[in-house]
Amino acid sequence: MGGVPKTAMNLVAFPLKDMDISVLRQIIQGGIDKMKEADVVLVGGHSVEDKELKYGLSVTGFVHPDRVLTNGNLKAGDRLILTKPLGTGIINTAIKGGLASPDTIETVTRLMATLNRDAARVMEPYPVNACTDITGFGLIGHLAEMVTGTGLGIRIDSAAIPVIPETRDFAAMGLIPAGAYRNREFREQMTRVMPSVDRALVDILYDPQTSGGLLISVEKESAEALRNALQSAGVMPGAIIGEVVEEPTEMVVIA
């Protein structure tokens, strides 16, 4: 949303009777490493004993009130840029099944551990009208959120969607997380998929993402410049995947 994180607090639930405390130490250390990378200071936290392991951060930061980026300020003609490839939910399902290759495991781990900081920094001087990150609602879910109440529509070029290697194969095998089916059920009425679009890709578009990339809505004239700047900064793929259109209203068209 245009903010800069400054402080964070750990939130931990840990099955102390069922899991060695060394696991928790490694998790906490991983969080500290990422906070250092993001120039964030850990100021405390809260922990509880629980049957299910959970870890997260409550983060506080700063942003000028006139420079807050929301997900609901689309403008007709805007181009949509996605900064990370899709597929983390499907790949993680394959990992649990022992089917993902070492290269794919390394790729998805690196992507999920990559901060969106560089992308946020690069886009700052450009005429960005709206922005969101792609997380549990999947790409289509977040697109639907962005277009709701705007009187506009979104058209996505399916051929331009970046996807993590092996994701299409796993999707074709039916390795789809339950969250993807819930996402589809919730947003399918706002989605129009052209017959030429591969079914496996549609499943990927509903796939819930962990630590996904940014979806940036930028004015048409600056789209290629922003994409090039993102790629030059190492934000890959930084792909232009679609545009904001006047019709059909409040619909996401996948072509």
Cβ-contact 238, 83 below 8 angstroms: yes
User: How would you classify the pairing of strands 54-62 and 128-133?
Assistant: unpaired
User: What is the pLDDT at residue 2?
Assistant: 87
Question: What pairing do the DSSP bridges indicate for beta strands 153-156 and 239-245?
Answer: antiparallel
Tell me: domain 4-65, CATH 3.30.1330.10, correct? yes
Please report, for residues 78, 126, 137, 224, the alpha-carbon distance to residue 123 in angstroms, rounded to integers and kept in the order given.
Answer: 14, 5, 23, 12
| The residue to which tokens 């090039």 are assigned | 228
Q: What are the mean pLDDT values of the chain's consecutive 10-residue runs (255 residues total)?
A: 94 95 95 96 95 96 92 96 98 96 96 95 96 97 97 97 96 96 97 96 97 97 98 95 97 98
Query: Torsion-angle region of residue 245: left (phi > 0), alpha (psi -120 to 50) or beta?
Result: beta
Q: How many CB atoms lie within 10 A of CB 44?
A: 9
CA-CA distance, 8 to 57, in Å (whole number)? Answer: 6
Q: Which residues contact 244 (CB under 8 A, 6 or more apart)?
A: 74, 75, 76, 77, 78, 79, 80, 147, 152, 153, 154, 217
List alpha helices for 97-135, DSSP H: 102-113, 117-123
Phi and psi (nearest 5°) for 158? -60, -30
Which contiguous run of DSSP H or E holds residue 215?
A: strand 214-218
User: Which class would CATH give 70-254?
Assistant: alpha beta
Output DSSP code: residue 17: T
DSSP character for 21?
A: H
State how beta strands 252-254 and 191-193 pair: parallel
Residue 191 has which token pair?
A: 């989605």
User: Domain boundaries in the chain?
Assistant: 4-65, 70-254
